Chains A and B, each alone.
Chain A
Amino acid sequence: MKKFLVIFLAVAAIIATIVVFHGCSNEPPKKLRLMYWGDVQEIKIITEMVAKFEKDTGITVSAERAPSGPPYMEKVLTQLAGGNAPDVLFVEVNNFKSFADKGVLEDLAPYIATDPELKMKDFYPEIIDRFTVDNKLYVLPRDIAPICVVYYNKKMFDKAGVKYPTDDWSWPDGFLKIAKKLTKKDANGRITQYGFVDDWPIWEAFMYSNGGAMVDNVKKPTKCVLDSKETIDAVQFRADLANKYNVCPSPSQLTSMGGMGTADMFTSGKVAMFFSGIWKTPMFRDIKNFKWDVVMFPKGPKGKRAFPTGGSGYAVTKMSKNKKMAWKLITYLAGKVGQEKLAQTGLAQPAMMSVAESKYFLDSQPPKHKDIVLKGVKYVVFVPLMSEWEEINVGTIAPRYDKIWNGKETAEKVIKEMVPDINEEYFKK
């Protein structure tokens, strides 16, 4: 018992000493915390850049990773709620608004104005504009990701005797014709090869290129306008690709792929064209004897070009006790060197124009025509800038659109019923 008491007192004394000394120092803490998500290549880049930062500044950084999507948000929000805010957050073009609205993010405009190396005009104006709300820049952009990349399997085109598509094609004409030619059936009429599949139903690309829109004003939405004829026609066209023209797998045909993802269908030669963002590049590069290239998503019937986009960057939290160093850290991560490293992976298009146009991104690795994403930037359309958009999308649009994708109901009926509900619930203020 005595022995125990001695040990107990010793431990207590040590803890007390640490606490007292810790509390005494007036200097900003020598530690930073960074929260991020990302895959293997991103982990590697972040680890390298963090190590460089630690070496240059003598400040230790704890970089904590969480799986992307809801698990990441859960973790960050729980830490914020618990008063244990990280100094630096990785965010993307959609979720940053939830943080900005809640007053969590520091305005970075003054920091970039006085930074010796970085300038606002180094970055694509589209992504700077997205991350700026009421003249406050909340995020230092890392990448922009126009969802305009149609990957195609050259061997399958050659075999079918179809010419490779070029950027000037449009979806009702060239695109659909090619997709039909590349769809094959067996003797029983079962489809053995599809012409086209998108990463997920990317109906937004069809809608935007047909002149449709989600809301009246992306930056300050006051009304949902999905019930325009342009949108209805475009959504119906996307559904028809599966249910009428049979060039694209329907939801139930996708489940019959036995848990195979749409990208796997493309790499295994079950589909000739695959639509997504540039981020699939590293995955396709790793496959041996796979001949592929990319082409820009086709124009709409009236020749309009537009697509949705992703993008991400780093933000500093208002609660950070060492904002100056936190800013310095993000200039390492999203600065020139960090972006160059990212560019080489092929995973993302750097948000810094000079890096995107440099040899680091436009190198000799496939795909040959990766410059389409550089050309694509000026056509991007962001999702409405409001924290509730995720809720509208997950809770209303996605479940109701299921009926369209299944071919159970027409786009016209579903959308005309849905839009008044969205306006009533979210825009009646």
Chain B
Amino acid sequence: MADKVLKAKMKMSTHEALWGYTFITPWILGMIFFVGGPIIASFVLAFFDWDLISPAKFVGLKNFAFMFTRDPRFLKSLWNTIYFTIFSVPLGIVGSVIVALLMNQKWKTVRGLRTIYYLPSVTAGVASSIIWMMIFNPDFGLINSGLALLGIQGPKWLSSELWAKPAFIIMSLWGVGGNMIIYLAGLQGIPRQLYEAAEIDGAGMWDKFKFITIPMLTPIIFFNLILSIVGSFQVFTQAYVMTGGQGSPADSTLFYVLYLYQVAFKFHKMGYAAALALILFVIILVCTMLQFRFAGGWVHYEGELKK
């Protein structure tokens, strides 16, 4: 009898596995044929000179040597990207946690508000870039008009070398709704008993937030931190649309991937572009590994410190 049940279970699980694999097959095949090949090819290409038409020529480490010794735009674009990441990632996380906390209240209108905050995440990047160009308009854009009411003369934003990057950072905060959804799910997954127990012990709002909410959210914050850093190192669409692919003014919004795009598709230096991509991969890999290395200290899983 027990034997039969076990057999049925076995059959059930192989059955499930089979279906599971069937469902992910399109993705796996797509990965192997459309992404895997190009990934390997781009690693190899990084050591070649190739203009897409003439045969590729092996040049060893030349591309990398050029990058670090003679290419000021490589360093400039890397700096621009780091600047953007340093500000946009922490602000984005704080912003989306705050919005999630607000959206976790039991107001009547909260469902509608959640939708509104989430909307930017489903808006196409090009469309939202165009909206933001209007918002940043130095004379009658939303931001400078608001500042003018306070008696402050706003900067020239997108046409100012100094303010173009901050403008992009502000714009990136528009996307907090996307991460908000994940935090919201996390907040709702925190067991009520924890709060009740804390209340019995006499904890106030702040204590509950500090000792229960935040620790319980850390795995999600950690997950978002990794994804946000990866994402912000690859910032491209906004700068491409808003500066016509140029990264203007004076290369102040020339982000790393935008530069890579110029090298590949405007200058037709595929080998050098592949080398740039490889370096970006290494940077992101190292960043992610460091984050995992230090995660143990602050990320709580089910309330226990992971050692």
Interface residues of A (CB under 8 A from B): 70, 73-74, 77-78, 80-81, 98, 102-104, 251-252, 254-256, 258-259, 387-388, 390-391, 394-395, 398-400, 402-403, 406, 408, 425
Contact = CB atoms under 8 A, between A and B. Distances in A.
B254 interface: yes
Contacts of A252: 138, 156, 159-160
Contacts of B51: 102
Contacts of B249: 251, 399, 402-403, 406
B228 interface: no
Contacts of B136: 255
Nearest to A398: B246
Nearest to B262: A394
Interface of B: 51-54, 70, 73, 130, 133-134, 136-140, 156-161, 245-251, 254, 262, 265-268
B267 A255 contact: no
B70 A425 contact: yes
19 contacts: A70-B245, A77-B52, A77-B53, A81-B53, A102-B51, A255-B136, A258-B137, A259-B130, A259-B133, A391-B267, A394-B262, A399-B247, A399-B251, A399-B254, A402-B161, A403-B249, A406-B160, A406-B161, A406-B249
A390 B262 CA distance: 10
B54 A395 contact: no
Nearest to B70: A425
Contact of A400 (B52, B139, B250, B262): B250
B246 A394 contact: yes
A256 B137 contact: yes
Contact of A258 (B53, B140, B245): B140
Given A81-B52, A103-B54, A395-B262, 15 more contacts: A70-B265, A98-B268, A252-B160, A255-B133, A256-B140, A258-B134, A258-B137, A388-B267, A394-B246, A399-B251, A399-B254, A403-B161, A406-B159, A406-B249, A408-B161
Give 4 closest A-B pairs by Cβ, nearest first: A252-B159, A256-B139, A402-B250, A102-B53
Q: Most B CB atoms within 10 A — which of A78, A104, A251?
A: A251
Contacts of B52: 77-78, 80-81
A395 B269 CA distance: 13
Contacts of B262: 394-395
B73 A395 contact: yes
B112 to A, nearest CB: 30
B248 A399 contact: yes
A104 B53 contact: yes
Contacts of B138: 252, 255-256
Q: Most B CB atoms within 10 A — which of A78, A388, A395?
A: A395
A399 B246 contact: yes
Given A252-B156, A255-B137, A259-B130, A391 B266 contact: yes
Nearest to B133: A259
A81 B70 CA distance: 29
Given A394-B246, A399-B246, A255 B158 contact: yes
A81 B53 CA distance: 5
A198 to B, nearest CB: 16
Contacts of B250: 399-400, 402-403, 406
Contacts of B156: 252, 255
Nearest to B251: A399
Contacts of A390: 266-267
Contacts of B137: 255-256, 258
Contacts of A399: 246-251, 254
Nearest to A405: B249
Contacts of A73: 265-266, 268
Nearest to B136: A255
Contact of B54 (A102, A391, A394, A400): A102
Contacts of B265: 70, 73-74
A104 B54 CA distance: 9
Q: Most A CB atoms within 10 A — which of B136, B248, B250?
A: B250
Contacts of A254: 159
A104 B53 CA distance: 8
